[in-house]
Amino acid sequence: MSKPIVFVARQIPEVGIELIRPYADVRLHTGHLPPTRDELLAGVSGCQGILSLLSDRIDTEVFEAAGDQLKVVSNFAVGFNNIDLAEASRRGIAVGNTPEVLTDATADIAVSLLLAVSRRLPECIRAVQRREWKTWEPLGWVGLDLQGKTVGIVGMGRIGQAVARRLHGGWQMKVLYTSRQPKLALEEELGAARVSLDDLLRTSDFVSVHLPLAADTEHVIGARELSLMKPQAVLINTARGEIVDQQALEAALRDRKIFGAGLDVCVPEPLAGDSPLRELEHCLILPHVGSATITARNAMAERSAQNLIAGLQGNALPFPVH
Ligand code: DGY
């Protein structure tokens, strides 16, 4: 009997592909860049499974192009804002993601950004590279202290909690957070306090964004919210670019309303070549590398393969999107 066909939208760690091969014929999109829309639509045609990335928009058009036999979409990411879930569910197509395995890696990047922006590392690195470093400077590249400061975690899910633990354990930071539900165990563990977003923004020295992207989280941090932040505060976003109003952030940074920003995510990705954010010395932008460790990426490959295989077999996905 012939195996089902699955479209894998990019080269992922081999461990994932090897898991899939006994169960399906893999139609792999090779190449460094995502499939173009036409390549995606052609690639999924006749497939029973799709292994997608966050850069692949999976919507009605894709479902139509795949055909009625499509059973499962497995996203190689914890976020799934690229997938039309309502349409998938209407069509009975299972959708999975890769939670947990990238929590530590992403929390590490959030803390790295926080440290780098606070201690002005991008400016320091640039000064060395441009031969502008002339002497030990008593007033040069002076940054912010971390010890005992207050961090505000916007969205206290797994990654938010991992960031809070790192900053509380490492620098004894006070932890404030927003969340739909109180996190009582965490309050007990870290002495964290659940507050309104406005209070968090007014009080925190560091604000780290960890919300999923959905209709009600777009631009949660806009001009008004940025105006509530302390002038010496730092904003970190490792979640999704759309959660922060990027134009408002540009203005706040340009006018020095906040100390700086560290972004692992932006809109669009990659950031437009002429975006003023690229030029601001107190804005550090990374190319969405939160999960980019060997362990995390291998585990993401495994989890996404396991979801795909379960979906092909008509079984419940081990890591379903709810
Ligand atoms: C995710 O998984 O959603 C990250 O943004 C990429 O690893």
Ligand 1 close to Cβ of residue 54 (< 6 A):
yes
> Would you state the pLDDT for residue 14?
98
Identical topology for domains 5-101+295-312 and 103-285: yes
Distance 304 CA to ligand 1 centre (A): 12
| Architecture of the domain made up of 103-285 | 3-Layer(aba) Sandwich (3.40)
Phi, psi of 239 (to 5 degrees): -95, -85
Ligand 1 close to Cβ of residue 49 (< 6 A):
no
Distance 79 CA to ligand 1 centre (A): 6
> Would you state the pLDDT for residue 322?
75
Phi, psi of 85 (to 5 degrees): -65, -40
> Would you state the pLDDT for residue 1?
76
Instruction: Specify whether domain 5-101+295-312 bears CATH 2.60.40.10.
Output: no
> Would you state the pLDDT for residue 141?
97
The ranges assigned to domains in the chain are 5-101+295-312, 103-285
Q: What is the mean pLDDT of each run of 10 residues along the chain (322 residues)?
A: 95 98 98 96 98 98 98 98 98 98 98 98 97 97 98 98 98 98 98 98 99 97 98 98 98 98 98 97 98 98 98 98 86
Catalytically active residues, by annotation = 240, 269, 288
> Would you state the pLDDT for residue 235?
99
Distance 129 CA to ligand 1 centre (A): 31
> According to DSSP H, which parts of 119-259 are helical?
121-129, 158-171, 184-190, 197-203, 223-228, 246-254
- Return the best residue to mutate from 97, 106, 159 for the ligand 1 pocket (most ligand atoms within 8 A of CB): 106
Ligand 1 close to Cβ of residue 155 (< 6 A):
no
Find out whether the peptide bond into 270 is cis, omega within 30 degrees of 0.
Answer: yes
Ligand 1 close to Cβ of residue 296 (< 6 A):
no
